[in-house]
């Protein structure tokens, strides 16, 4: 364990437990198959993140095999190689300091929209509530370096949506916490499926921008228990 990790050992241990537990939500909500997809969390107070190791089956994920990297994607603590999407997550954390969690899925309906290179239009109140407008499409980018991360940041910077459909690839979501990013991934797939079905029946009716703004403001600031 490096000195930096040791200094935040309790925080890292808690995040290992949280990130491991949140991975169970991906197959539970049918957002991933086999070993695809990943969840990460920023380590507050340190330029570190906790992320899933590469190629590990979901029923083998545990707090002990979560890995810690710095925000360039370099492994600093753990016995396994980090996710192949680590560079993308790291780029997001470096350039979006408000982000505390990142999730990647290949969920069926949302990824079908990504394969078409088409944003999901804001035709449901749930989309207005959760995403503040359409769910945008990001550029095509190859896996392995920070190209995907650049596409995520360029697309979501200044956008209310916490989700982006990376063209020909899949879904990336962000949140103030890893749990919030997982929620966004679940909601993204749900609305992608509903809008797909609506289009089979006809042309979905768009929501007026003023109503989108009002719905988003209410949901983000009033809904729930505060």
Question: Active site includes 47?
Answer: no
**In this structure, what token pair is assigned to residue 69?**
């990297």
Question: Active site includes 109?
Answer: no
Crossing angle of helices 178-201 and 9-23, rounded to 10°: 20
Q: 106, 196, 213, 219: which is the annotated catalytic residue?
A: 106
Q: 70, 104, 109, 216: which is the annotated catalytic residue?
A: 104
CA–CA distances in Å: residue 114 to residues 47, 91, 197:
31, 21, 16
Q: How far apart are CA 14 and CA 204, in angstroms?
A: 44
Question: Active site includes 77?
Answer: no
Neighbours of 96 (CB within 10 A): 17
* Beta carbons within 8 Å of 185's beta carbon, 6+ residues apart: 26, 29, 31, 103, 105, 107, 163, 171, 173
Q: 77, 85, 129, 146: which is the annotated catalytic residue?
A: 129
Q: How far apart are CA 142 and CA 111, in angstroms?
A: 16
Q: Which residues are catalytic?
A: 104, 106, 129, 169, 223
């Amino acid at each position: 364990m490096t000195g930096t990790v040791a200094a935040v050992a309790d925080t890292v241990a808690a995040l290992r437990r949280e990130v491991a537990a949140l991975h169970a939500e991906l197959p539970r909500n049918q957002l991933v198959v086999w070993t695809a997809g990943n969840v990460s969390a920023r380590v507050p107070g340190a330029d570190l993140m906790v992320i899933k190791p590469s190629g590990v089956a979901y029923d083998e994920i545990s707090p002990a095999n979560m890995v810690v990297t710095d925000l360039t994607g370099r492994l600093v603590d753990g016995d396994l190689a980090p996710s192949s999407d680590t560079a993308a997550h790291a780029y997001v954390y470096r350039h979006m300091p408000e982000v505390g969690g990142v999730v990647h899925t290949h969920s069926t309906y949302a990824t079908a929209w990504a394969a078409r290179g088409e944003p999901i239009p804001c035709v449901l109140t749930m989309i207005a509530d959760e995403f503040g407008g359409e769910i945008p499409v990001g550029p095509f980018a190859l896996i392995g370096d920070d190209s995907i991360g650049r596409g995520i940041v360029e697309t979501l910077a200044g956008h209310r949506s916490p989700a982006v459909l990376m063209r020909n690839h899949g879904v990336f979501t962000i949140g103030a916490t890893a749990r919030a990013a997982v929620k966004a991934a679940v909601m993204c797939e749900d609305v992608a499926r509903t809008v797909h079905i609506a289009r089979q029946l006809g042309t979905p009716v768009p929501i007026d921008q003023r109503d989108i703004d009002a719905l988003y403001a209410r949901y983000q600031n009033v809904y729930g228990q505060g």
